Amino acid sequence: MLKTVLKAAGLATAIAVSATSVQAAETVRFAVTDVEGLEMLQREYGPFADVLREASGMEVELFPVTSRTAAAEAMRAEKVDFVLTGPAEYVVMRKLTEAFPVVAFSRPDYFSAIVVMADSGINAPADLKGKSVAFSDVGSTSGHLGPMQLLADYGLDPSKELKPLHVHRNVGHEALKRGDVAGLGVNYRSWTDKVRAKDPDLPAGAFKVIARGPDLPNDVLVAGPHVDKAVVDKVRTVFGEQSDALVAAILEGEENQKYAGMKFLPGVQDADYQYIRDAYATIGYPQYSDFVGN
């Protein structure tokens, strides 16, 4: 009788452990590198998590991180499964964790540009040689890496042939107007929509673009190498089948309006991010194994 009871208890324990494992496998932890704190993460991505949860049948747990470094460490420790991150962050995260792309979040008009004053007499990137040029924060995909690589594409060595300054885009804009810098490297859409359009002093025609880069690689949802392939396939399928609902949910976030007009790209590949790797090399980080600007 005792053996029967123990055997039954053992079977019950095994079933419970198995059930727990299944439940754990159906829970995915989701982080975003540019959103700090659980409260903001829930506010910006709560509706998105709800749609993903309902469509996939999996529990989606929002996992807050304090930085892109923290996100990489959490993925390496298998504490987070999926991370939404930018192109510059992806390249480093891939190097550090072997994360791989699942689906890209396209951003319309996401490209870098070099802006000068229209009456400056500067007509080409070569005219900036030896002059001061303002860029955004160190490590920014579209405000630093992109413009640096764009200038390199035109034959300049931006680290040696320019005097680069790193400031907020609004500060750089005002510096350009005052003549403190000769050029401004920007995320074109952010600059036109959030800075130039709100300039109280000068019309849009007071500025001109002397170089426009290619559309930059997109923000991307990556999975850790520990995530089961079936789970990745399920998530990728949901993005394809529930695209409209997921986009609408993302755009409920006040800080997510950069994705207005977006499209999910499930065919994204690691090779799509070579331009960013080239940019890291241009700024002197050919190993792209560190988050510059931390």
Same domain, yes or no, for 39 and 104? yes
Same domain, yes or no, for 29 and 152? no
Same domain, yes or no, for 153 and 88? no
pLDDT for position 24: 45
Residue 236, pLDDT above cutoff 50: yes
Domain membership of residue 294 (yes or no) is no
Q: Does 9 or 190 have the greater pLDDT score?
A: 190
For residue 61 the two structure tokens come to 């747990």
CA distances from 105 to 86, 97, 215, 265 (A): 9, 21, 13, 7
| C-beta of residue 170 within 8 angstroms of C-beta of residue 201 | no
How many domains in the chain? 2
Residue 288, pLDDT above cutoff 80: yes
For residue 253 the two structure tokens come to 């976030």
Choose the final residue of a domain: 212, 232, 251.
212
- The parent domain of residue 188 ranges over 112-212
For residue 146 the two structure tokens come to 């992109």
Domain membership of residue 200 (yes or no) is yes
pLDDT for position 256: 93
Torsion angle of the four alpha carbons 35, 199, 146, 244, in this order, in degrees rounded to the nearest 10 = 50
Q: In what order do the strands lie in the sheet with 82-85?
A: 59-62, 27-32, 82-85, 219-223, 100-105, 264-265
Q: How many residues does the chain have?
A: 294
Interval 47-98: pLDDT, tens: 999 999 999 999 999 999 999 999 999 999 999 999 999 999 999 999 999 9
104: closest CA among 276, 226, 254?
276
Residue 5, pLDDT above cutoff 60: no
pLDDT for position 6: 33
Domain membership of residue 126 (yes or no) is yes
Q: What is the mean pLDDT of the chain?
A: 90
CA distance 129 to 38: 45
Same domain, yes or no, for 254 and 187? no
Domain membership of residue 290 (yes or no) is no
Domain membership of residue 292 (yes or no) is no
Mean pLDDT to the nearest integer, 132-156 = 96
Identify the sign of the CA torsion 219, 223, 229, 234.
negative
Measured in degrees and rounded to the nearest 5, phi and psi for residue 225 equal -65, -15
Q: How confident is the model at residue 294 (pLDDT cuts 50, 70, 90)?
A: low
194: closest CA among 169, 216, 175, 214?
169
Mean pLDDT to the nearest integer, 155-183 = 96
pLDDT for position 101: 98
Instruction: Specify the CATH number for the domain of residue 206.
Output: 3.40.190.10
Q: Which residues pair with 223 in a beta bridge?
A: 82, 100
